[in-house]
Amino acid sequence: MLKPIHRVACSLALAACQQMMRRLALWLCDLQVSGVSVTQANLRANMGSAIEGDWLWHLLAGSTGTKALLGKARRIADLPPADKTGLHQWIQAVSVLAQHFGPTPTATLPVNPPNGWGSRDDRWAAFKALMVAFYEDGLRNGLPYAANGAPTTNAALRVRYDQFVQEFRAAHRLDPFPDAREVCVLCGGPLVLPAVDHWLAKTAFPLLAVCADNLLPICGECNSTQNKGQKGVHTGGTFTDWFHPYLRHANGAIRLHYDDVTLSIRVDSATPADAVKVQNLDGLLNLGQRWTREFKAEYRRLQREAQRRHIGNVQALQQRLMEYRRDLSAAEPHYEIHALLAETLLAPARLQAFAQ
């Protein structure tokens, strides 16, 4: 979240799909609904519109093999009343994502499956597979919504995964030139092979698999298992001490310093109120370690350049570093790290050491 992050136009389609997912999940939990109720006619009548009902029916009935989504939907609809009630409460609590990031959160996010189900319980597995299919199959092949969130049967207008990624990249491109380097909004590094991250992991919160506020294209390193991966972004279900890409942004809240003692970049907060949030974000993405690695690599590059050009006196080095700082662009990857490097090396004591 080093860079500003905002929603894109087709986020309205994702929000509409999120509402349909919630509508389906709550309908399956209705005590009057059973497995035999899950028909195309009933979906057309209960999913908001005939377009949405037909699309959902084809999603469910068209799956086979291990997915067999229609069977999983009917499995949920046939749950006993107590299980339905518990799942209903879980759905309601997870649905109000924005409320969890308000100044005074009204409730904590339920971080465990409902009803005491284990992570491998077949009932939870059925519900999870059903919800995740909206992302893995629905979004990949086309949601039943145009970019503005209106239901549509026009396949050419239906929002897809690739469209969301392209829109996000275009909207967050710092240099509009098509061949310019792109920057990861989380770490500020190169956006190489971007992957859509679920800020709240879809394995733990499948209801949010297509939530517009939960999807974020980021670089592969940020999304790797040693960094963000599937890690939690909450403390026991509360977000008081955590940032959120859209709902509680970190842009402007992070300050970088070079620590002479540890010879590393220290990640600090701009205000005391954000200190724990910045610490948690740093721990989640290993920002300090990654930025220190880039800082040292760029230092070495400048050092080799000075040696190659036989720049050995302090005045000449100062001139070169001032040029380097002047030529830095905020539209390039690692701008903040390189700017900190220039500031660090231009300090008189460090400049003298760099010249030796």
CB 28 within 8 A of CB 39: no
Band (pLDDT 50/70/90 cuts) for residue 99 is confident
Looking at residue 312, its pLDDT comes to: 75
| Nearest alpha carbon to residue 180 among 334, 58, 332 | 332
Domain contains 347: yes
Domain count within the chain: 2
DSSP conformation letters of 269-303: ESSGGGHHHHHHHHHHHTHHHHHHHHHHHHHHHHH
* CA separation for the pair 157, 57 (Å, rounded): 20
Last-in-domain residue among 150, 171, 192: 171
Give the global pTM.
Answer: 0.91
Please indicate, yes or no, if residue 59 is contained in any of the structural domains: yes
> Is residue 202, in this structure, part of any structural domain at all?
no
Question: Which residue range is the domain that position 68 belongs to?
Answer: 11-171
Last residue of a domain, one of 151, 171, 191: 171
For 312-328, b/e burial (b = at least 16 CB within 10 A) is eeeeebbebbeebeeee
Co-location of 166 and 266 in the same domain: no
Q: Is residue 184 part of a domain?
A: no
Is 207's pLDDT higher than 80? yes
Query: Residue 57 pLDDT more than 90?
Result: yes
Per-residue pLDDT, averaged over 16-39, amounts to: 97
Residue 317 belongs to a domain: yes
Let me know: does 337 contact 324? Beta carbons within 8 Å: no
| pLDDT tens-digit series, residues 276-310 | 999 999 999 999 999 999 999 999 999 999 888 88
Instruction: Check whether residue 166 and residue 28 sit in a common domain.
Output: yes
Q: Are residues 18 and 166 in the same domain?
A: yes
Write down the pLDDT at residue 149: 97
In a domain, 270, yes or no: yes
pLDDT at 211: 95
Q: Tell me the pLDDT tens digit for each residue of 110-159.
A: 999 999 999 899 999 999 999 999 999 999 999 999 999 999 999 999 99
Contact 129, 120 (CB under 8 A): no
Indicate whether 4 belongs to any domain.
Answer: no
Average the pLDDT over 188-215 and give the result: 93
